[in-house]
């Protein structure tokens, strides 16, 4: 299977993050409507359709406001996980990782991998309360 293009990977990160934020519809029209608070002048449905389907990416000046609205880093939204994250944010298995680095790495996981991580967290929390 071929690896996704940059615009397809962006679309997947956008779609996944929106689903996590409670948006159940994800198409050109739904995306344009959801982004109205970010872009009050509006966005064309054709533009947002291309973002939603991985045919195109937003211009650079639109990435940052979308990322802020979704509460993710602009770098992560545009490019995916920071390849330097291990060096910048993690000290190893017995060390600490910054909240930002953890969040970026968590959001880069597949939906199933995130479910597993959340199940592990719940188990650890239950173990602490015993």
Half-sphere exposure in the Cβ direction for 50 (13 Å, CA):
11
- Pick among 2.120.10.80, 3.90.1210.10, 3.40.50.300, 1.10.260.40: CATH of 1-80: 1.10.260.40
Is residue 37 exposed (0-12), middle (13-18) or buried (19+ Cβ within 10 Å)?
Answer: exposed
Higher pLDDT, 94 or 121: 121
* pLDDT tens for each residue of 35-66: 999 999 999 999 999 999 999 999 999 999 99
Domain boundaries, the chain: 1-80, 81-130
Q: What is the pLDDT of residue 68?
A: 92
Please tell me whether the overall predicted TM-score, pTM, comes out greater than 0.75 for this model: no
Q: How far apart are CA 127 and CA 130, in angstroms?
A: 6
């Amino acid at each position: 299977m071929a690896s996704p293009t940059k615009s397809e990977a962006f679309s997947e990160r956008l779609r996944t993050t929106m689903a996590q934020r409670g948006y159940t519809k994800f198409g050109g029209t739904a995306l344009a409507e959801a982004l109205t608070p970010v872009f009050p002048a509006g966005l064309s449905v054709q533009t947002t359709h291309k973002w939603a389907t991985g045919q195109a990416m937003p211009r650079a000046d639109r990435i940052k406001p979308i990322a802020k609205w979704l509460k993710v880093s602009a770098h992560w939204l545009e490019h995916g996980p920071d390849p330097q994250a291990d060096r910048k944010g993690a000290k190893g298995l017995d060390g600490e990782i910054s909240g930002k680095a953890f969040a970026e790495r968590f959001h880069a996981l597949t939906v199933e991998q995130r479910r597993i991580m959340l199940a592990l967290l719940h188990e650890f929390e239950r173990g602490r309360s015993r």
